[in-house]
Structure formats: structure tokens, C-alpha cells
Chain A
Amino acid sequence: MTPAGLEISGGETVLFWVIAPLMVLAALGLLFVKRAVHAAMCLVFVMVSMAILYIAQEAPFLGVVQVVVYTGAVMMLFLFVLMLVGVDASDSLTETIRGQRWIGLLIGIGLAIVLGGVVGRAAFPPAVGLNGGDPGGVANPQGLARVLFADYVLAMEAVGVLLVTAAVGALVLTHRRRLTPKQDQRAVADARIRALPDGVVLTPLPSPGVYATSNAMDTPALGPDGEQVPQSVSRVLRIRGQEKAAPHAPGTELVETQAQVGGSRSTGTREGEA
């Protein structure tokens, strides 16, 4: 079957029959896997296998480019966007178009049949291979460069322009316009000074529990006058109502602690305990 121009080695045959089923399996994983990250991993596998097949098919340059561009850049970009959008975002199973799943499946299988029919019925010329009968002929990277920069130099330039345009386009698309002027440190400080009459404190707030029975987060600090300082407890705890009551009168907290720890050993010195 294989023409004289191209001898496909046994090694390549084994490689193909090992890799091709795995590739198809991974591609089907893209179709059936629930999480988008797993789909991305399946696609990475397909692309790396594709690079191996390129190298086996006398296209080492394309194999390297495949790894660098597709698995290195494109799939990493996909993963970045997945992280940005939310890894847990899985497909919704509600159908907006009724019977869309079956129609889509039907069209997909129909496409596979049509493509298979075309490939099966087409008369391919006898394969010659890239170095067919001429070992000193077109070596891959050099020959490719000669075609690329001689016959297709205009397309090469156009592709360069396209890449720059795409980069600028991505910048423009993801750019968010600032709606308010930027608050620098000076502006923040000025705003706080201006808000002083409204009861804003310039200094840091007192930390919780200082001079009280404990230094726990939820115990308010006691001021020098023995009163509680409500600001010392985190605003979140105050809103949730999880703040603990500190003892009111100064001098009792030590006694209360002892009472909690050691039971009723120091009852004699107590005063004003509930």
C-alpha cells in the first residue's frame, strides 16, 4: 500500500496507534468532562500529542512551535482566563433551545460521517515524503524558512501586523476606564482631616481587650476611666452581636478571672460581683 517514495517505519506505525486513540479519547473528554479545567487539561494532552505527531511527520519545526505556542501560550492563557472567570463555573444543564443537545449531537455525527466518507473515497496520490529520493533536498527548518521568507513574505508581514493588532485589541477590550479620579495618599489624608468634625478618629483605633480581663478579639478594651471602648472591637463582630461584655468597674476584672479559673477560692476579696 505504501508507495516506494515514502516508507513509513514500524516505529512510526506503533507511535501512531498508541497516540491516536489516546488523542481521540482526550478530545472526547473535552466533550464529556464537566469541569472546564479538566477540559483544558484534555486539550493540553491533545496538543502535546499533536506535536509528537508533527515531529514524526517530518515537521520538527512545527512540532516545537506547537508546544511553544499552543501548550505554552494559548493553553496557559485559557487557564488564566479560567482562573479569572471562576474555576467552578460549570455548564448549566437547562436547554434554552429545545432538543439542542440531540440536534448538536446529530450534526456532529453527520459531520464525522461526511468527513470520513470524503477521506475514504478520495484518491490520494502516492505519498512521496518531504525528502523523497533527495536526501540533500529540503531539510525542514531551512526549507521552511526559505518558503516562508521568499514565497510568503507578504503574508508573513501581514501576520505580524495581525499579531500586534490582536495584542492592542486585547488591551483595549480588557481595559477598564476609571470613573473617579484616583485617590492618592495626600487626598485620603485631606479627606480624613476634613471629616474630623464628624467624629472620625485620625489615630489608629484602640486594640481590643487591653486593660480588660482578656486580650481576645471580641472583648472590648477598657478606657482609663474604666468604661468600655466599643470601637476597640472589630466592626464586623459588633454588627454580628458577637462582642463580649467586659466587666464595668475597674479593679474587679482580676477577681473575676480568678473566680473563673479557680472556682471560689478568693471569695473574700470580692466586691460588687454579679
Chain B
Amino acid sequence: MDITNYVVLAAVLFAVGATTVLLRRNAIVVFMGVELMLNATNLAFVTFARMHGDLTGQVLAFFVMVVAAAEVVVGLAIIVTIFRTRRSASVDDVNLLKG
């Protein structure tokens, strides 16, 4: 097996995550799509680290994980706040800025 198979898998997962972000309406599921994309990039990082024999890729994947955790905390707090005021978790209902 070629090690580039891992990169192909990461690309497929990233595309599926991006499509999820584009297609789903529930804000939480959209967020899960973002998480899937971040995971796919992490897989690519780990694969490249192994390919080049350099641990920096793994360090970057680690940082992505930490930043993703922080992002999830703030994002979910925003979703909960929006749900409290608008009683909906759909991205279509957040249209207060619409003229």
C-alpha cells in the first residue's frame, strides 16, 4: 500500500465535511462538518510527518486539535445564546442583519 492513500482519505473526508457545511441547516451539524474538516487536515499532517520523517507535522496537528477545542467551546456557546434568543438552531433563522 502506498502512503498517499492516507492523503486521499484525508481529501475525501475534507470534501465531505465541506459539503456538510454547505448543505446542512442545523447549526450544530454545520459545526460537526467543520470538525470533520479539521480532523481531515490533521490526518494529512500526521501522514506528511511520517512521509518526511519530521515530527513538526505532528506538532502542528496537536496545535490544530487545541485550537479546534477552543473554537468548539466558543462556537457552541454562540449557538446556545442564539437558541436562547431566537428559539431555533437553524442557520436560516439567524437573519437579523438582513435589510
Query: Which residues of A are interface residues toward B (Cβ below 8 A)?
Result: 1-2, 5-6, 8, 12-13, 16-17, 20, 23-24, 27-28, 30-31, 36, 39-40, 43, 46-47, 50, 53-54, 57-59, 61-62, 65-66, 69-70, 73-74, 77-78, 81-82, 84-86, 89-92, 94, 96, 101, 103-105, 107-109, 111-112, 115-116, 118-119, 124-125, 127-130, 132, 138, 140, 143-144, 147-148, 151-152, 155, 159, 162-163, 165-167, 169-170, 173-174, 176
With A30-B32, A31-B19, A148-B62: A130-B53 Cβ-Cβ less than 8 Å = yes
CB distance A130 to B55 under 8 Å? yes
Contact with A along B4-47 (1 / 0, CB 8 A): 11111101111111111011111011011101100100110011
Cα A193 to Cα B52 with chains together (Å): 79
Number of A-B contacts (CB under 8 A): 244
Cα A105 to Cα B20 with chains together (Å): 9
Contact with A along B38-76 (1 / 0, CB 8 A): 010011001101111101101101110111111111101
Cα A85 to Cα B81 with chains together (Å): 10
Question: Which range contains the number of B residues in contact with the other chain?
Answer: 35 or more
Residues of B within 8 A of A148 (CB): 59, 62
CB distance A24 to B16 under 8 Å? yes
Q: Report 5 cross-chain contacts, Cβ distance below 8 Å, ordered by A residue.
A: A1-B2, A24-B9, A53-B46, A116-B11, A159-B66
CB distance B13 to A128 under 8 Å? no
CB distance from A50 to the nearest CB of B (A): 5
CB distance A77 to B11 under 8 Å? no
Pairs A-B, 10 closest by C-beta atoms: A108-B19, A104-B22, A112-B15, A166-B70, A115-B11, A173-B77, A128-B53, A170-B77, A13-B1, A27-B16
When the two chains form the complex, which single residue of A1, A127, A155 contacts B51, counting CB atoms closer than 8 Å? A127
For residue B31, which residue of chain A has the nearest CB?
A: A78
CB distance from B47 to the nearest CB of A (A): 6
CB distance A159 to B67 under 8 Å? yes
Cα A81 to Cα B2 with chains together (Å): 40
When the two chains form the complex, which single residue of B7, B23, B35, B46 contacts A101, counting CB atoms closer than 8 Å? B23
Query: Which residues of B are interface residues toward A (Cβ below 8 A)?
Result: 1-9, 11-20, 22-26, 28-29, 31-33, 35-36, 39, 42-43, 46-47, 49-53, 55-56, 58-59, 61-63, 65-74, 76-81, 83-84, 88-90, 92
Residues of B within 8 A of A130 (CB): 49-50, 53, 55
CB distance A91 to B31 under 8 Å? no
Instruction: Provide the main secondary structure of the chain B interface.
Output: helix
List 5 other contacts, CB 8 Å, given A59-B58, A81-B79, A115-B15.
Answer: A36-B26, A84-B80, A85-B80, A108-B19, A170-B74
Among B4, B13, B77, chain A packs the most CB atoms within 10 A around the CB of B77
With A90-B26, A91-B90, A173-B81: A8-B55 Cβ-Cβ less than 8 Å = no
CB distance from A129 to the nearest CB of B (A): 6
For residue A131, which residue of chain B has the nearest CB?
A: B53
Residues of B within 8 A of A59 (CB): 46, 49-50, 58, 61
